Structure 1
Amino acid sequence: MKVAAELIALQERLGYRFADPRLLRRALTHASMSGPGRDDNQRLEFLGDRVLGLVMAEALLAGDPGATEGQLAPRYNALVRKETCADVARQVDLGAALKLGRSEQMSGGRRKMALLGDATEAVIAAVYLDGGFAEAKALILRLWGARIANVDEDSKDAKTALQEWAQARGLPPPAYRETGRSGPDHAPVFTIEAQLSNGESAASSAKSKRQAEQAAARALLDRLD
């Protein structure tokens, strides 16, 4: 089977060579490019999220045998959240290989946090199906790298961090409001704006309101920093 040069290059960046490259193609295919004979990556994303969660839970337990559940939970959330998955995608330039419909390409889909995070989870699932759990685990540990050891430095979720930033400056807690909703009823995409009383604001989109709020808070924190 002929494999496109961009997929060969991506496999080198991932450090994993697929026995069945069709799995990688599917993992990189956004719903905007799906159609007859071309499946998108949504089902793989669902599976990859669970594989990632198990690997991270194992790694955190092994890395700190004395940690309580209360200590482990925020570390876990920091490692598996969509923003971290998107950072990993940027690390290996996953966006360059995404298969997107014209509308997503025109709107900067290759840089969108939600699309990059989803694709990262889908690639994890593709490796799991192609090579088994051991290969998927090795991929995750390799790509996440020092993030696991240093997770205490960034284990606070973005909404909490933004609220503490505001309180430290005598401002009331940030407000979150839904500014848009798109996509089909069974798979909506929410756009949420985070705003501070001083007028600073940022918006982001995700598949759930909770994720969109976190992403908007993170975007606003990045702007403030």
Structure 2
Amino acid sequence: MLSEELVAQCEQVLGYRFQNHQLLTEALTHASIADDRRLSNERLEFLGDAILGLVICHQLYELFPQYLEGDLTKLKSAVVSRNTCAQVANAIGLTELIFVGKGMTGRQERPSSLAAGALESIIAAIYLDGGLDAARTFIIRHMQIFIDQFASTTHQDNYKSLLQQYSQKQLGSTPMYELVDEKGPDHSKCFEVRVVIAGRAFGSAWGAAKKVAEQRAAQIALEELGVIAREEEEFTSAVVEQATDEKLNDE
């Protein structure tokens, strides 16, 4: 059992006060030091993985009603990955609190799998000690920043994927990308592309490469279809348009 001083230190790091200190002890006990692996954090890690997935899935479902299943799955996978969990564990100082065997004590840097497993174990311990609301509060407090980061990157880079999924499921047709115009010298061309779905043409977009123009054109089509809100994309649009304008002005 942990000393009162160590319990207080752990609770300060976690921002949660445990009623059952045995759960905290178990969550911090790595299999390399446990006399019985059933007394290590492996079982809690198993449970915590499921709780983390549930909470993140629910959060993504609520935050992104415009996302289809494929994009939600991709975003969830990034948020709950071992790498992300390890980053959270290291950032809050959890990794250094884990009890490990002698073979791991001397390492300068503990493996990411150990850190990620510890975070999942703590999530399960909080869930068993304080219920789902307590676990959710802990998870969102530390994971929301990653949700925001991954959502921004994933969404901006996958308008074509999102449009294709929506178009095939809801419209029964595959988007086509038409080259409308191109300007500039051969070494520095800009391209204008538009999306056509089942004979319907959507607004065109310029890009410094065809792929960039296609992504922007897919975004415009999604906006016109009402799949994504225009105001959510104002910053991205401004950046793309500014970069394209600068390139056209250099001609």
TM range (shorter): 0.5 to 0.7
Distance of aligned partners of 1:104 and 1:2 in 2 relative to their CA distance in 1, 3 Å threshold? closer
Supply the AA of the counterpart residue of 2:17: R
Mapped partners of 1:77, 1:125: distance in 2: 19
Q: How far apart are 1:148 and its partner, in Å? A: 1.6
Supply the AA of the counterpart residue of 2:117: D
Q: Where do 1:49-198 residues align within 5 Å?
A: 49-108=49-108, 111-153=110-152, 155=154
Q: Where do 1:41-52 residues align within 5 Å?
A: 41-52=41-52
Q: Helix, strand or coil for the counterpart of 1:99?
A: coil
Aligned to 1:34: 34
Distance of aligned partners of 1:5 and 1:37 in 2 relative to their CA distance in 1, 3 Å threshold? farther
Aligned to 1:211: none
Supply the AA of the counterpart residue of 1:149: D
Q: Helix, strand or coil for the counterpart of 2:100?
A: coil
Mapped partners of 1:21, 1:114: distance in 2: 24
Q: 1:113-141: CA deviations, max 9, x gaps?
A: 00000000000000000001110011100
Q: Helix, strand or coil for the counterpart of 2:73?
A: helix
Q: How far apart are 1:149 and its partner, in Å? A: 2.1
Q: Number of paired residues? A: 155
Mapped partners of 2:24, 2:53: distance in 1: 20
Q: Helix, strand or coil for the counterpart of 2:39?
A: coil
- Tell me if the contact between 1:78 and 1:155 (Cα under 8 Å) persists in the aligned partners: no
Q: How far apart are 1:77 and its partner, in Å? A: 0.4
Distance of aligned partners of 1:2 and 1:68 in 2 relative to their CA distance in 1, 3 Å threshold? closer
- Tell me if the contact between 1:10 and 1:92 (Cα under 8 Å) persists in the aligned partners: no
- Tell me if the contact between 1:3 and 1:21 (Cα under 8 Å) persists in the aligned partners: no
Aligned to 1:217: none
Q: How far apart are 1:145 and its partner, in Å? A: 2.8
Mapped partners of 2:12, 2:59: distance in 1: 24
Mapped partners of 1:71, 1:29: distance in 2: 36
Distance of aligned partners of 1:38 and 1:147 in 2 relative to their CA distance in 1, 3 Å threshold? same
Mapped partners of 2:114, 2:21: distance in 1: 20
Aligned to 2:12: 12
Q: Helix, strand or coil for the counterpart of 1:31?
A: coil
Mapped partners of 2:2, 2:98: distance in 1: 18
Quick one: percent identity of the two aligned structures? Answer: 37
Consecutive unaligned residues of structure 1, counting only runs of 5 or more, are 157-225
Consecutive unaligned residues of structure 2, counting only runs of 5 or more, are 156-251
- Tell me if the contact between 2:31 and 2:37 (Cα under 8 Å) persists in the aligned partners: no
Q: How far apart are 1:89 and its partner, in Å? A: 0.3
- Tell me if the contact between 1:78 and 1:84 (Cα under 8 Å) persists in the aligned partners: yes
Q: TM-score, normalised by structure 1?
A: 0.64
Mapped partners of 1:56, 1:38: distance in 2: 27
Mapped partners of 2:34, 2:120: distance in 1: 18
Q: How far apart are 1:14 and its partner, in Å? A: 1.3
Q: 1:45-65: CA deviations, max 9, x gaps?
A: 000000000000000010011
- Tell me if the contact between 2:52 and 2:123 (Cα under 8 Å) persists in the aligned partners: yes
Q: How far apart are 1:4 and its partner, in Å? A: 3.9
Q: Helix, strand or coil for the counterpart of 2:18?
A: coil
Whichever of the two has the greater Rg, that structure is: 2
- Tell me if the contact between 1:77 and 1:155 (Cα under 8 Å) persists in the aligned partners: no
